[in-house]
């Protein structure tokens, strides 16, 4: 009966060195980091072998005397999923039980799939602060942060990384109109390499200084809305004050109504911002046209808009960035014969 199993008996028995414990991988750009805990206290272990591609490729890892974690980075791995088998060896060449771990490398195909997070709007507020409003990011593909690069008002080159969780960012004011931005990606949370989209350029808006402006209107209420009523109340940067059309002196003027601003300089107009009087959102104009002029006499239409009944500033983008010195808000319709406006702000490129 012994003949049936004698051929399987190894004289002196088999010795299995301690196997690796808790193996893990970290993805990278055409490379993968493989690591594990030293595991069982087996001082006889002198090296490990990491196999992949069905044992056709391998790398030898020498085991240091100290340290809880053993690791190696395997380079030149084409973009795909990999299965690694890890065994340990002692000085006699005895092998441990193999341990399997999965990993992935990323390359040109992943890079080509990356989308730059859009900028919805970017505005300079004075000489101190710029505000950036971000669009949706491709989080499922690993979007991690957005980097912006620009020159500030002191001439310093600024590179800032904004977390992908932020829907808006406040940064030092931007000196010129161009801001470069790109999105940073991690294929997974433990990746050892980051990927970047190409830089895109965004032309930032700058809020015009109202202290230099003068403003006129088709009419204004001189007595019935004091201390408000005058058109200057619409450019005082105080949304609690307001301009109101005349409603006491007959004949009472109806639509169209208008506010005309002399900017005192020529600018490339990019956006108009209107703020309705809080608490009276349904009593101001509903339809208006933005007009521009170089002499304050001949006006060109640059877009017709509908003003929603919404509290707070409402933005209206002007296409093609016309060059103007004068801007007029020409109001054509509303629920009443009168209208009012709490604040008018203008932005240039």
**Per-residue pLDDT for the chain (349 aa), expressed as one digit of tens each?**
566 666 556 565 667 788 889 999 999 999 999 999 976 567 788 999 999 999 999 999 999 888 889 999 999 999 999 999 999 999 888 999 999 999 999 999 999 999 999 999 898 876 688 899 999 999 999 999 999 999 888 888 989 999 999 999 998 888 767 899 999 999 999 999 999 999 999 988 989 999 999 999 999 999 999 999 999 999 999 999 999 999 999 999 999 999 999 999 999 999 999 999 999 999 999 999 999 999 999 999 999 999 999 999 999 999 999 999 999 999 999 999 999 999 999 999 8
257 and 327: one domain?
yes
The whole-number pLDDT of residue 156 equals 86
Residue 139 φ then ψ, to 5°? -65, -35
101 and 52: one domain?
yes
Give a yes or no: residue 5 inside a domain: no
Using DSSP, state whether 249 is helix, strand or coil. Answer: coil
CB–CB of 257/218 below 8 Å? yes
Give a yes or no: residue 9 inside a domain: no
For residues 67 and 36, give the distance between their C-alpha atoms in angstroms, rounded to a whole number: 11
79 and 149: one domain?
no
Angle 15-21-27 from CA coordinates, rounded to 5°? 130
Give a yes or no: residue 93 inside a domain: yes
Max distance between CA atoms of the chain, in angstroms, equals 125
Q: Helical H runs in the chain?
A: 108-112
123 and 225: one domain?
no
Cα separation values, 126 from 70, 131, 192, 209, 276, Å: 54, 11, 40, 8, 23
For residues 20 and 49, give the distance between their C-alpha atoms in angstroms, rounded to a whole number: 11
The last residue of one of the domains, among 181, 207, 233, is 207
Strand bridging mode 205-207 / 343-348: antiparallel
117 and 80: one domain?
no
Give a yes or no: residue 8 inside a domain: no
Distance of CA 52 to the CA centre of its chain: 39
CB–CB of 220/260 below 8 Å? no
306 and 341: one domain?
yes
Using DSSP, state whether 75 is helix, strand or coil. Answer: coil
The last residue of one of the domains, among 107, 125, 141, is 107
Domain range holding 100? Answer: 17-107
Give a yes or no: residue 2 inside a domain: no
Of 107, 101, 99, 102, nearest to 48 (Cα)? 99
Q: Tokens standing for 261?
A: 């601003």
- 231 exposure class (CB count in 10 Å sphere: 0-12, 13-18, 19+): buried
Give a yes or no: residue 11 inside a domain: no
Residues in the chain: 349
Strand bridging mode 195-196 / 200-203: unpaired
Percent of the chain with pLDDT over 70: 94
For residues 330 and 339, give the distance between their C-alpha atoms in angstroms, rounded to a whole number: 12
The reported pTM is: 0.76
202 and 233: one domain?
no
CA-derived radius of gyration, the chain? 34
Please tell me the total count of domains within the chain. Answer: 3
In the Cβ-directed half-sphere of 294, how many Cα atoms lie within 13 Å?
3
The whole-number pLDDT of residue 127 equals 66
Which residues are paired to 294 by β-bridges? none
For residues 342 and 323, give the distance between their C-alpha atoms in angstroms, rounded to a whole number: 26
For residues 313 and 296, give the distance between their C-alpha atoms in angstroms, rounded to a whole number: 26
156 and 242: one domain?
no
Torsion sign across C-alpha atoms 309, 314, 318, 324? positive
184 and 232: one domain?
no
239 and 316: one domain?
yes
Angle 311-345-255 from CA coordinates, rounded to 5°? 75
Give a yes or no: residue 334 inside a domain: yes
The last residue of one of the domains, among 175, 192, 207, is 207
Q: Helical H runs in 24-124?
A: 108-112
CB–CB of 39/87 below 8 Å? no
- CATH number assigned to the domain comprising residue 92: 2.60.40.10
118 and 97: one domain?
no
Map tokens 């594990």 to a residue.
Answer: 36
Of 196, 246, 258, 251, nearest to 222 (Cα)? 246
Of 106, 91, 104, 107, nearest to 34 (Cα)? 104
């Amino acid at each position: 009966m012994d003949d049936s199993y004698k051929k399987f008996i190894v004289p002196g028995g088999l010795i299995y060195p301690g196997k690796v414990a808790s193996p893990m991988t970290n993805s990278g750009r055409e490379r993968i980091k493989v690591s594990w805990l030293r595991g069982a206290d087996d001082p006889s272990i002198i090296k490990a072998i990491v196999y992949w591609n069905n044992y056709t490729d391998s790398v030898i890892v020498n085991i240091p005397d100290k340290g809880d974690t053993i690791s190696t980075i395997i380079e030149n791995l084409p973009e795909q999923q990999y299965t690694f088998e890890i065994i340990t060896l002692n000085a006699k060449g005895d092998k441990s039980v193999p341990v399997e771990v999965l990993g992935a490398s990323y390359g040109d195909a992943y890079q080509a799939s990356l989308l730059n997070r859009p900028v919805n709007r970017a505005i300079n507020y004075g000489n101190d602060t710029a505000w950036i409003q971000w669009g949706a990011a491709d989080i499922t593909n690993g979007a991690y942060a957005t980097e912006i690069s620009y020159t500030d008002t002191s001439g310093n080159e600024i590179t800032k990384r904004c977390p992908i969780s932020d829907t808006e960012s406040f940064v030092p004011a931007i000196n010129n109109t161009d801001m470069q931005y790109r999105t940073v990606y991690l294929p997974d949370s433990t990746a050892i390499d980051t990927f970047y989209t190409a830089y895109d350029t965004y032309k930032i808006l700058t809020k015009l200084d109202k202290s230099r402006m003068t403003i006129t209107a088709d009419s204004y209420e001189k007595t019935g809305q004091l201390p408000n009523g005058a058109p200057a109340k619409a450019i005082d940067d105080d949304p609690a004050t307001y301009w109101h059309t005349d409603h006491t002196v007959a004949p009472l003027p109806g639509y169209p109504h208008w506010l005309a601003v002399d900017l005192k300089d020529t600018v490339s107009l990019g956006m108009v911002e209107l703020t309705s009087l809080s608490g009276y959102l349904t009593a101001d104009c509903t339809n208006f046209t933005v007009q521009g002029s170089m002499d304050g006499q001949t006006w060109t239409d640059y877009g017709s808009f509908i003003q929603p009944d919404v509290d707070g500033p409402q933005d209206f983008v002007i296409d093609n960035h016309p060059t103007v010195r004068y801007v007029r808000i020409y109001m054509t319709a509303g629920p009443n014969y009168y209208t009012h406006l709490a604040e008018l702000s203008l932005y240039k490129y």
